[in-house]
Amino acid sequence: MIEITDLHKSYKTGNTSLHVLKGIDFSVKEGELVSIMGSSGSGKSTLLNILGMLDEADSGSYTLDNTPIKNLNEKIAAQYRNKFLGFIFQSFNLISYKNAIDNVALPLYYQKVNRKERDEKAMYYLEKVGLADWADHLPNQLSGGQKQRVAIARALASNPKVLLADEPTGALDTKTSYEVMDLIQGINEEGRTILIVTHEPDIAQMTKRIVNLKDGRIIDDTLVDQVKAIPHV
């Protein structure tokens, strides 16, 4: 599903160049649930941004679902993002003036799906995350956990190949974090490929594979015995 070889990325700030990714080789097969761990400055967010086509690597190759991701302009990047990827953010990033169902339907709007079908699909995914009764609520009427569920429903709505989650539980308390992880595990069980960036070891233990980053290099990549989130809820 994801093939990365010898990925480099550096940022220029003034005269100094900061080498963030120093040759990453990494691949993810379909149906995997991978967590990327590392301290801040390890390059894990940069890696996720490149995977998410929000940023571009200086060198190296990146193939997503057999499609080489290179020479991206804004337009192609937008189309690929819409087609391949679903994003889940630490701070949810819901549009504040749209209610839950409209937020979930937004990626479909950009896929030119008509309104009726959009609403049906959005409702289906809201049911899936257990928020069907909250469809008409605005984000500020929802709890943090509910917001993240709406965001997960939104990420699923366009039926992407890969879900990319950047600290999905970073803004949630432990109990809610486990609920969200339970949902993510459920989605993974259905066969969807998911990448999670996190710095919380307990969250990482709930994935199937942990990739450890340090100073722009992968120092450790191990399969783990997945801890089910449900008993902890």
Q: Strands 193-197, 33-37: parallel, antiparallel or unpaired by DSSP?
A: parallel
Closest distance between other proteins and the C-beta of residue 5, in Å? 22
The interface mask with other proteins, positions 137-176, x = CB under 8 A, is -----------------x---x------------------
List the one residue from 107, 139, 145, 216 that touches other proteins (CB under 8 A): 107
Cα–Cα distances in angstroms (integers) from residue 205 to residues 2, 38, 53, 133, 210, in the given order: 21, 14, 27, 32, 8
| x/- map, 57-96, other proteins, by CB under 8 A | -----------------xx--xx-xxx---x-xxx-xxxx
CB of 188 to other proteins, least distance (A): 21
Alpha-carbon gap, residue 106 to 40, rounded angstroms: 31
Q: Tell whether residue 106 is a contact of other proteins (CB under 8 A).
A: yes
DSSP string, 158-204: T--SEEEEESTTTTS-HHHHHHHHHHHHHHHHTT-EEEEE-S-HHHH
Q: Which of 19, 98, 137, 214 binds other proteins (CB under 8 A)?
A: 98
The reply to whether 227 sits near other proteins by the rule CB under 8 A is no
- Which tokens go with 110? 């950009």
Applying CB under 8 A, which residues contact other proteins? Answer: 49, 52, 54-55, 74-75, 78-79, 81-83, 87, 89-91, 93-98, 102, 106-107, 109-112, 114-115, 154, 158
